[in-house]
Amino acid sequence: MATVTLQNISKQFANHTAVATMNLTIADGEFLVLVGPSGCGKTTTLRMIAGLETPSSGNLFIGETDVTHREPKDRDIAMVFQNYALYPHMTVRANLAYSLRLRRRPREEIARRIEETAAMLEITALLDRYPRQLSGGQQQRAALGRAIVRQPQVFLMDEPLSNLDARLRAATRAELIQLHQRLKTTIVYVTHDQVEAMTMGSRIVVMNDGVVQQVGAPLEIYRRPANRFVASFIGSPPMQFLQGTVNQTGEQVSFTGRGFRLKLSSAAPEPVLAGEMILGIRPEHLVWEPAGQEDGTGIPCVVAVVENIGSEALIHTTTAGGEGLIIKMINPERTPLPGENLTVKPGPGSIYLFTVPDGVCQA
């Protein structure tokens, strides 16, 4: 079983906490993505799993074995980094063979495993080339091949696609997903790219400032973000926030923002929310109509800029209180014009409320 367990793992560098106490069990065969902004501690976490960094506290298990104090080479893991780390003076074949030779595998077995891996990654025709004779994408596949050929218990990948151009990155992303479906090996994957995290991960760990913010399946994190940080990190364009207060009159709960009042529901959620709050709404959950009578179902806005790329359009608007609000339209037939007055309406069940100042999601 290639489960990976982090038990009270933390890492301090001098006075700086790179990773605060972290508890996480990565299931056998899982594709787990660590995601967060630069400096949030994801690489340090991966390097501790790899054995390249010693935890300041806690224990690390691979399967049932405590590997906290084991050398990287004794952990049965393979790593793929953003710089492909192929040996430049060796052909792709020799690069793939290297770790198997170190392990003194029989010559026939080495040849067979290289052929199988190369076929899977479609690099058979490149086996006798040197890294300098390969494109970035081909080098990336060769580096993946070098990791795969070892048949490790766990793959650790740190931004392996970040040096590829957008088209190749999307293609390689799909290849990696397929590869995982075929090999079913545990993968721990680090990225700062939320699209990679959403599309590749069976589970995502969102980190900020060395602290795990939320762990969950991609859609769970998108639909039920634990706090404002997660809500603004997952989703594109990100969730937008409006300041105001929640008040209740009789059965009616409403949100009073700068220059608008929005009815939230007819029955008060439990516990009753009241006072200063931040309202969160995703651009894809907003619809618009020409400005009309204000009845508490929409926010009056004026259009500033329209960006239309055919399949979708972003309508940048400004509220009466001067806050920006973007509407994302899919396959737009008609977009409003700059200067036009609109009523912008949230779709059913699409409003989030966050506490001030902690930013914890309440509804």
Of 76-105, which residues contact ligand ATP (CB under 6 A)?
Answer: none
Cα–Cα distance list, 137 to 141, 168, 191 (Å): 6, 7, 18
CA dist 78 to 115, 137, 144, 184, 201, Å?
A: 19, 19, 9, 14, 18
- Minimal distance in Å, beta carbon 222 to ligand ATP? 21
Shortest distance (Å) from residue 45 CB to ligand ATP: 7
Smallest separation (angstroms) from ligand ATP to the CB of 207: 7
CB of 18: closest distance to ligand ATP in angstroms? 3
CB of 41 to ligand ATP, least distance (A): 4
Task: Return the DSSP state at 360.
Answer: B
Rg (CA), the chain: 25
With CA atoms as reference, report the closest residue to 161 among 150, 152, 172.
172
Residue count, binding to ligand ATP (CB under 6 A): 12
List the x/- string, 14-53, binding to ligand ATP by CB under 6 A: --x-x-----------------x-xxxxxxx---------
User: Which residues, numbered 185-244, are part of the site for ligand ATP (CB under 6 A)?
Assistant: 192
Which residue in the set 1, 8, 13, 276 belongs to the binding site for ligand ATP (CB under 6 A)?
13
Least CB distance from residue 46 to ligand ATP, whole Å?
A: 8
Tokens 């902004």: give the residue: 37
For ligand ATP, the closer CB: 188 or 315: 188
Grouping H, G, I as helix, E, B as strand and the rest as coil, residue 42 is helix
Residue least distant from ligand ATP (Cβ) = 43
Query: Letter for the amino acid at 98?
Result: Y
Residue whose token pair is 């990791």:
147
Cis omega before residue 237 (within 30°)?
A: yes
CA dihedral 180, 183, 186, 192 (to 10 degrees): -20
- x/- string (CB under 6 A) for ligand ATP, residues 163-192? -----------------------------x
Helix, strand, coil tally for the chain in percent (to 5)? 25, 35, 35
Pairing of strands 275-281, 252-257: unpaired
CB closer to ligand ATP, 154 vs 190: 190
Measured from the CB atom, the residue of 13 and 87 that comes closer to ligand ATP is 13
Residues that bind ligand ATP in the complex, under the rule CB under 6 A = 13, 16, 18, 36, 38-44, 192
